Amino acid sequence: MKRLLLLLASLCLSHSAFSAQLNVLWFVVDDMSPHFSSYGETLVKTPAVDKLAAEGTRFTRAYVTAPVCSTCRSALITGMYQTTIGANNHRSGRGELKIHLPEGVTPIPEQFQKAGYYTCIGSGLPGMDNCGRPFGAGKGKKNKRSGAGGLHFGKTDYNFEWDPAMYDSDDWAGHGDKPFFMQVQLHGGKLREGSVEARAAFKARVIAELGSATDPAKVVLPPYYPRDPVILDDWALYLDSVRMTDLHVGRVIARMEKEGLLENTLIIFMTDHGISHARGKQFLYDEGTRIPFIVRGPGIAHGAERTDLIEQIDMGALSLAAAGIPIPATMQGRDILAKDYQPREAVFAARDRCDETVERIRSVRTDRFLYIRNFLPQRPHLQPNAYKDGKAIVQQLRAMHEAGTLPSVSEELLFSPTRQAEELYEYVNDRWQVTNLAANPDYRAQLEEQRARLAKWMVDTRDPGPESEAMYDSDMAEYTKKNNPEVERNIALMKQWAKEGK
């Protein structure tokens, strides 16, 4: 009866009237685009995520502010643009020189903790890792920076200095009388990565747990990827990682329902950026920045669809508001569920150094256009990068490029030795951002408008500009400890290109 009364009361609550005792749970998934049935994917079924969408509100135009793990996660956990807080270079602040948050910026878990919440980060399934397997059986491992005392904390990967004490546990099980703030961190698209043997083992696991694997012959690729067996097999395995992620989500939801927690918990499902591929992860096209974003909980409209533009940093603001915790006045994320919310006219993203590879790209996206500014246009799209070049799909693309067997669109978009300084896409009609309109005189007014909008955002949000050589050297000292000759060659090339003005 108590649960029934709670449910009836919650249905009458507006967003602004959420109970302070509301639990908040985030699903944050690695390396995955919106390839779920509820987002239009037809080759695989994703019943758990689809059910969240049916019982909540699905956002169709959600984007990350950074298309790589650590920078995106630094932004989402503070509700701030990673450029504003100086955490915009991937895996930065890991060497002798550290990054500290600006005065007045506090990680969201700390804000929940100060408000009396039990804060936790893990897999959502006790005894299981972020791959959905018993600890020690799969890829999942204890977070190196925060998993003390036998706890298996979920992925953090923040670029700034932070106190691990902002997390009470790796699971909500010990929350007692306190409401909890839980992050379920999942391996997502990374499930299908690794050696030939690891990929084969993952496929076998998919068949064992789901009954079948996705047929590579049925895969539909973006137009700039050739229908090569290596690439088709990888994309099929990626779709299977979507299915396995959905299975994990379903198990967490079932646990919450069994424990009587589901109807008093705000749930947000999202990914930290798009699919890891040659034009996805690390880049500012839809393939790298567009993500699924679903909100379910008391007072949330069922089966609703929102088509306005939002950013992943909005997750923190709406969560704090739902829990009755004041949103800091300086927070750049917005409560997108507030009664007086005014939809964003534009969303922004930034790409900077990823591992040893120096880069600087910015973008602005409005209702119709995507504008991208390449600050290092004399460098190729696929700069040398040990992480990406270690992937079979990139190796295959490079081999086909050397052999001259790539389609012209692949050559132009992936292997041109230089890039245009500006890119403009009417992305609503150009799904894969293939046709650059920046030089088209018919779009001059739109180009100038987007250029000015991006420039203003960079000033207003205090974009820090290029990384200093001292910080680069500090972080690269950590990379060279691994004695990887490829990384060291790439570091030398980055420095050479910088001297040449590239």
Q: What is the CATH number of the domain that holds 190?
A: 3.40.720.10
Say if residue 427 is in the same domain as residue 488.
yes
Count of C-beta atoms within a 10 Å radius of residue 414 = 20
pLDDT, position 137: 72
Q: Which of 289, 275, 188, 200 is nearest to 235 (CA)?
A: 275
Q: Is 14 part of a structural domain of the chain?
A: no
Say if residue 445 is in the same domain as residue 306.
no
Label residue 127 left, alpha or beta by phi (over 0 means left) and psi (-120 to 50 means alpha).
Answer: left
3-state secondary structure 380-412: CCCCCCHHHHCCHHHHHHHHHHHHCCCCHHHHH
Model confidence pLDDT, tens digit, residues 172-221: 999 999 999 999 999 999 999 999 999 999 999 999 999 999 999 999 99
Whole-prediction pTM = 0.94
Beta-carbon contacts of 244 under 8 Å, excluding residues fewer than 6 positions away, are: 132, 191, 205, 206, 209, 210
Model confidence pLDDT, tens digit, residues 362-374: 999 999 999 999 9
Measured in whole angstroms, the distance separating CA 482 from the mean position of its chain's CA atoms is 26
Beta-carbon contacts of 260 under 8 Å, excluding residues fewer than 6 positions away, are: 3
Is residue 369 within 8 A of residue 424, CB to CB? The reply is: yes
pLDDT, position 11: 39
**Average pLDDT over every residue of 264-274:** 98
Residue 2: pLDDT band with limits 50, 70, 90: very low
> What's the structural domain count of the chain?
2
Q: Which residue carries 């779709």 as its tokens?
A: 239
Q: Is 307 part of a structural domain of the chain?
A: yes
Least confident span in 9-18, 131-140, 407-416, 468-477: 9-18
Say if residue 132 is in the same domain as residue 210.
yes
Say if residue 319 is in the same domain as residue 422.
no
**Average pLDDT over every residue of 414-418:** 97
Say if residue 365 is in the same domain as residue 331.
no
Beta-carbon contacts of 429 under 8 Å, excluding residues fewer than 6 positions away, are: none
Say if residue 323 is in the same domain as residue 390.
no
What is the residue-averaged pLDDT of the chain?
94
| Predicted confidence (pLDDT) at residue 108 exceeds the cutoff of 50 | yes
Q: Is 2 part of a structural domain of the chain?
A: no
Q: Is 33 part of a structural domain of the chain?
A: yes
**Cα–Cα distance, 263 to 260 (Å, whole number):** 7
| Predicted confidence (pLDDT) at residue 52 exceeds the cutoff of 70 | yes
Measured in whole angstroms, the distance separating CA 137 from the mean position of its chain's CA atoms is 26
Amino acid at 442: D
Say if residue 150 is in the same domain as residue 235.
yes
**Cα–Cα distance, 119 to 319 (Å, whole number):** 13
Say if residue 310 is in the same domain as residue 415.
no
**Cα–Cα distance, 464 to 185 (Å, whole number):** 29
Least confident span in 9-23, 166-180, 204-218, 244-258: 9-23
Q: Which two tokens stand for residue 403?
A: 């052999």
Q: Which of 239, 185, 167 is nearest to 72 (CA)?
A: 185
Least confident span in 9-23, 127-141, 144-158, 279-293: 9-23
Model confidence pLDDT, tens digit, residues 436-456: 999 999 999 999 999 999 999
pLDDT, position 5: 39
Q: Is 18 part of a structural domain of the chain?
A: no
Q: Which two tokens stand for residue 106?
A: 């506090």
Angle at 291 between CA 245 and CA 59, to 5 degrees: 105
Q: Which two tokens stand for residue 151?
A: 């706890």
**Cα–Cα distance, 90 to 497 (Å, whole number):** 20
Q: Is 3 part of a structural domain of the chain?
A: no
Least confident span in 27-31, 77-81, 147-151, 467-471: 147-151
Say if residue 245 is in the same domain as residue 278.
yes
pLDDT, position 144: 42
**Average pLDDT over every residue of 415-428:** 97
**Cα–Cα distance, 263 to 68 (Å, whole number):** 33
Residue range of the domain that includes 406: 361-499
Q: Is 381 part of a structural domain of the chain?
A: yes
Q: Is 52 part of a structural domain of the chain?
A: yes
Q: Which of 427, 432, 429 is nearest to 370 (CA)?
A: 427
Say if residue 432 is in the same domain as residue 315.
no
